[in-house]
Amino acid sequence: MNPEITVGVCVKNSQDTVGDTIKSIVAQDYPHNLMEVIVVDGNSQDGTLSIVKRVLSQSDLQWRICSDEGKGLGYARQSILDQAQAKYIIFIDADTTVPSYFFRRQVDFMNTRPRAAVGLGRQIRKEEKEKGWVSTAWNLCRTTQALDTRGGGRSVAICRTIAFRNVGGFDQKIKGAGEDLDILERLQSNGWLRSINEEAEYIHEPEVTLKNIWTHQSWFGYGGYYLARKYHGMFHPWRNLPPGELINAIRVARRVYRSTRRKIVFLILPIFIFKGTAWWVGFVRGAYRYGQPD
């Protein structure tokens, strides 16, 4: 019997969080004989793979692990798409956990929406001790869904396999982030829809430090250059300039303050200026790396 869900997990040096992620997959109340798990590793140098193997080997799930061969996230996601035997793929980040009902609710959601290629979950905040002003301000804004993602994906999404294959899959030339934005653009152009399932909650709270923000945002900018050239004006890099980020931060902070009444959210202003600078550093690196795409 073929599985109905392929669970795709892309990992790299995620030993501090991936154990909880895999455990939350194993704990799903969806029939395990209708699930398969594919883990793609990005040449981890820590204990990530040993943790993944230990948890999955103690489960009754079908699973396998492969490598992205150092070719990046676009290649990793395409590897999962190529191997998937199921009607749906659920991509889940290695620093994310989902409640036991998540897969079941997502499949029910997609079964009633035949034109939906992607079903996004709703992020909720885990109650724990706060870890500094950067993390607190960032996560307060993130979990109210107020941060502007320029239309991108979220940490967990259920995807209709046939739709992703029909538009050619993920662009493996993208070395930084942006493979989700790219395929969403092509799905939309081909008449597929992206929907949000408010009944499918998940927790995604990665470690947030200035160092991590710089690393991730420069990575987004790196891929952003490729997208800006590929789509010839459909993506607007100027929005990520520090002045533009400041305007966006004011909008976000006001919105979150109205719902939380926590003044700390206004510290998102310098964080946004910082992340805009990092994004542009990555963008310039991408311009040097990519040049004119083929």
Tens-digit pLDDT string for the chain (294 aa): 788 999 999 999 999 999 999 999 999 999 999 999 999 999 989 999 999 999 999 999 999 999 998 888 889 999 999 999 999 999 999 989 999 999 999 999 999 999 999 999 888 766 555 568 888 888 777 765 544 444 444 678 999 999 999 999 999 888 778 899 899 999 999 999 999 998 998 987 667 789 989 988 999 999 888 888 888 766 778 888 888 889 988 988 888 888 888 898 899 899 999 999 999 999 999 888 765 444
Given a contact cutoff of 8 angstroms between Cβ atoms, the answer to whether 173 and 288 are in contact is no
Cα end-to-end distance, the chain, whole Å? 42
Residue 14 burial (C-beta neighbours within 10 Å; 0-12, 13-18, 19+): buried
Q: What is the per-residue pLDDT for 149?
A: 41
Q: How many residues does the chain have?
A: 294
Q: What is the per-residue pLDDT for 157?
A: 92
Domain range list for the chain: 5-207, 209-294
Given a contact cutoff of 8 angstroms between Cβ atoms, the answer to whether 253 and 116 are in contact is no
Long-range contacts of 205-208 (CB under 8 A, 24+ apart): 205/95, 205/125, 205/126, 205/139, 205/143, 206/17, 206/95, 207/16, 207/95, 207/131, 207/135, 208/131, 208/134, 208/135, 208/138, 208/139
Q: What is the per-residue pLDDT for 260?
A: 85
Q: What is the per-residue pLDDT for 195?
A: 92
Q: What is the per-residue pLDDT for 127?
A: 56
Residue bearing tokens 């994310």: 96
| Cβ-based neighbours of 291, under 8 Å, separated by 6 or more | none
- Starting at the earlier edge strand, list the strands of the sheet with 88-92: 62-67, 35-41, 5-11, 88-92, 156-160, 116-124, 193-204, 96-97
Q: What is the per-residue pLDDT for 126?
A: 65
What kind of fold does domain 5-207 have according to CATH?
Spore Coat Polysaccharide Biosynthesis Protein SpsA; Chain A (3.90.550)
Q: What is the per-residue pLDDT for 150?
A: 41
